[in-house]
Amino acid sequence: MDIVMDAQALNAFLARDFPQVADACSIQAVLPDRLVARWRVDDRHLRPGGTVGGPSIFALADVAIYCAILSRIGPVALAVTTNASVDFMRKPAAGRDLLAECRILKLGRSLAVAEALVFSDGMADPVARCSMTYSIPPKTPQNSAL
């Protein structure tokens, strides 16, 4: 399926519709088979010990997968997560941003399934694995964000 929103278009969409998220998260690349997103780690996301907590990892995966779907279907603001499964496998490295690599496994008319691996920037072993299902509403003028 063609790419209909690139990284620049997705970041503009996040900045306008999800300003709290856009503050921390940016889309780095939209490639034919995956999307890469970055989470800028700052003090708000840190847990005791200086590492990033589970909710930040979840938030990054959620945005990355949402944008991966939008990159194929355009800015449907009302797509919603219906299911998420996360395995937290390693402690994130202190003081490093998080990167999510996201891949779409199914893009149906009403349901999309995608997965993301989350890494500490510069590290080879994933911090977390996440899969999510999104429910996609029928595209109408009302739910198009354009």
Beta bridge partners of 144: 76
* Least CB distance to a second copy at residue 72 (A): 15
Query: Which residues 40-79 are close enough to bind a second copy by CB under 8 A?
Result: 44, 47-48, 53-55, 58-59, 62, 77
CB distance 132 to 92 below 8 Å = no
Nearby residues of 36 by Cβ (< 8 Å), 6 or more positions away:
27, 28, 29, 64, 99, 100, 101, 102
Stretch near a second copy under the rule CB under 8 A, chosen from 4-12, 33-41, 93-101, 130-138: 130-138
Buried b (16+ CB within 10 A) or exposed e, 95-115: ebbbbbbbebeebeeeebbbb
Among 82, 95, 138, 139, binds a second copy (CB under 8 A): 82
Among 6, 17, 31, 40, binds a second copy (CB under 8 A): 17
DSSP 46: B
Which x/- pattern, by CB under 8 A, does the window 89-128 give for a second copy?
xxx-------------xx---xx-x-x-x-------xx--
Is residue 49 packed enough to be buried (19+ CB in 10 Å), middle (13-18) or exposed (0-12)? exposed
Residue 48 vs 141, nearer CB to a second copy? 48
* Least CB distance to a second copy at residue 29 (A): 22
Nearby residues of 56 by Cβ (< 8 Å), 6 or more positions away:
24, 39, 41, 45, 98
Instruction: Give the residues lining the site for a second copy (CB under 8 A).
Output: 17-18, 20, 44, 47-48, 53-55, 58-59, 62, 77, 80-91, 105-106, 110-111, 113, 115, 117, 125-126, 129, 131, 133, 135
